Chains A and B, each alone.
Chain A
Amino acid sequence: MTQPIDDQTLDRVAQLAQLSIPDEQKPSLKQAMNDVLDLVASLQDVATDDVEPMAHPLSISQPLRSDAVTDVDRSKMISINAPAVDGNCFLVPKVIE
């Protein structure tokens, strides 16, 4: 089977995943991904015509609850984990020039 991950595909997937990959790691990463895709290639041999895809092990519907506020204010507990905050705002590098 042809190897699905080439340099261009790796760069595109890394961009989609928002991961920067150092150049020196690209060859081994490409190989590892192709090895995994090779492992899963045998799925193509399974006859699956008319088989409904199974996204989830349970066939249950989402329960509904009354539309009421149940959460408590945890903003202080949440902001202690933030790398940079100002009051109740998360700080990020300038977005609009």
Chain B
Amino acid sequence: MKLESASIDDLSQILASRELSATELTTYFLNRIDARSDLNAFISVEHELALESAAEADRRLRAGDQAPLLGIPIAEKDLFCTTGGLTTAASKMLANYRSPFDSTVSLNLKQAGAVRLGKCNLDEFAMGSSNENSYFGPVKNPWDTTRVPGGSSGGSAAAVAAGLCTAATGTDTGGSIRQPAAFCGLTGLKPTYGRISRWGMIAFASSLDQAGPMTRSAADAASLLEVMAGSDHQDSTSLPEPVPPYRQLIEQSIKGRTIGVVPSLLDGVSPAIVEAYQTCQSALASQGATFREVVLPHHTHSVGAYYVIAPAECSANLARYDGVRFGHRCEDPRDLQDLYLRSREEGFGDEVKRRILVGTFALSAGYYDAYYNKAQQVRRLIQSDFISAFEDVDMILLPTTPSTAFQLGENISDPVSMYLQDIFTISANLAGLPAISFPVGQAEGLPIGLQLIGPHLDESTLLQCVHQYQQVSDWHTRTPSEPS
């Protein structure tokens, strides 16, 4: 068995049987990370911390601890605050920031025994769809290093796809888990808004941001979600509902499940993705799922609503970076105003500044009703469309992306064409719904992902459907070739 592509269940078994220690496993993965520095998937590799965690995992293993992720090597998107190292959000603004606390996600993973190998690269403050907006440079897609891994959780996706860790955390504000999962051949789940605490996850757009797992399979995603999810008194928007035993539930058959399809939304999608969509439908039908057409009349307005609401919330959230208490400060400020203006100008990258300015404009006097209020009304209509559709179907199947991974540099100078990459993923964030991307094929050696969107808090059904699909397909087991 190749350790770099082994499942969480397999590695847990290897560790429990003492075939390998957590320290040996951690060392193996740290060496792999160092060997693939060309991908730029990590902002910081935490060798010492990881080996300390591994030693602790070994002690717990010897003591018979049954923690679900004991000794499993993971990576975290560098948007999660963690103690012991840096937390940068891939921004010059936070390039030297040391968090005084751990995010709830990071703490939950630590308590479950996971060994964090490092912090993954991302688009600055999670704003981007290609990972080219990072202060620490772009990440390369392990399937083709001339292409983007997607974004904003591009480092997490590249790290898992290249076998540099077993699983990784991501965050998804408009598709930032699902789009890179699709581009890198992974399973990526954006849970229901509120399912996972946002405490210690650096805020971009607070009504849309949600953490989730990025893994090779639905089974691994279920294992991670069980640990990451749950109510948290530190986040008043975290949901109080108990966390189901996802890993058990996914074993159930999908016979009798009804999946919605929206044929009109396939217009303009690359032919290879449409073909993969149809093949996937056949596979799911052979397992007993039925399909029914549904309509999502306002889906086409998702991008418009999102690119008002997300920048508006971003402009408010990023107001905290003023160069006074933490973060970048300009040299020799003349006065307080000069300190604010130049620290922010120097500390933020171009895309972040564009979004702050668009958001500030949309919230400003005289424009609020025409932009922000209108976008919020359209958001309500988009959510209502889903509620109506879920009266007839259990979930909806859509492409994750209109195309496979594009070339590095291809869209970087045209923000609007970059924004349109998110056309299929944004609506789930606006409606607060769970959605999962999973690999269903390849075109010219590049992975293709499709997406299932489900009703509020029904992650189980999505994971179950993808897990059952992965019992009769092998796309999730394929790995990119490695440099010789």
Contact = CB atoms under 8 A, between A and B. Distances in A.
Interface majority SS on B: helix, strand, loop or mixed? helix
Nearest to A40: B304
A31 B207 CA distance: 28
A84 B374 CA distance: 43
A22 B353 CA distance: 12
Interface in A55-83: 55-58, 60, 62-63, 65, 74, 77-78, 80-83
Nearest to A94: B335
Given A53-B380, A57-B432, A36 B415 contact: yes
Contact of A43 (B97, B239, B378, B383): B378
Contact of A58 (B237, B322, B357): B237
A36 B324 contact: no
A77 B100 contact: yes
Contacts of A78: 100, 325-326
B162 to A, nearest CB: 32
A92 B336 contact: yes
A36 B354 contact: yes
Nearest to B375: A43
Nearest to A47: B381
A7 to B, nearest CB: 13
Q: Which of B239, B304, B383 has the most CB of A within 10 A?
A: B304
B301 A52 contact: no
A62 B194 CA distance: 13
A23 to B, nearest CB: 12
B63 interface: no
**Interface size classification for chain A:** 35 or more
Given A9-B361, A77-B100, A81-B98, A36 B307 contact: yes
A55 B100 contact: no
A57 B383 contact: yes
A48 B361 CA distance: 21
Nearest to B307: A40
A14 B357 contact: yes
Contact of B378 (A22, A48, A57): A48
A74 B98 CA distance: 12
B307 A58 contact: no
Best-surrounded residue of A13, A14, A52, A80 (most CB of chain B within 10 A): A13
**Interface range, B side:** 35 or more
A27 interface: no
B303 interface: yes
B408 to A, nearest CB: 20
Interface in A39-54: 39-44, 46, 48, 51-54
Interface in B22-58: none
B374 A43 contact: yes
Contacts, number: 172
B340 interface: yes
Contacts of A55: 207, 376
B315 interface: yes
B232 to A, nearest CB: 11
A86 to B, nearest CB: 13
A42 to B, nearest CB: 5
Contacts of B377: 46, 48, 51-54
Contacts of B356: 17, 19
A5 B360 CA distance: 12
B323 A19 contact: no
Nearest to A58: B194
Contacts of A65: 233
Interface string B252-263: 000000000000
A42 B193 CA distance: 26
B381 A46 contact: yes
Interface string B294-307: 00001001011101
Given A43-B375, A53-B373, A57-B193, A82 B325 contact: yes
Contacts of B1: none
B207 A56 contact: yes
Contacts of A74: 100-101
B345 A90 contact: no
A37 B358 contact: yes
Contacts of A84: 329
13 contacts: A12-B364, A29-B354, A33-B358, A35-B416, A37-B371, A39-B303, A43-B304, A60-B194, A65-B233, A78-B326, A81-B97, A83-B327, A92-B336
Interface of A: 4-5, 9-10, 12-14, 16-22, 29, 32-33, 35-44, 46, 48, 51-58, 60, 62-63, 65, 74, 77-78, 80-84, 90, 92-95
Given A40-B375, A43-B375, A57-B207, 9 more contacts: A12-B364, A18-B322, A19-B345, A22-B345, A39-B419, A46-B374, A51-B381, A81-B96, A93-B338
The 6 closest A-B pairs by CB, nearest first: A57-B432, A77-B100, A53-B376, A83-B329, A81-B326, A48-B377
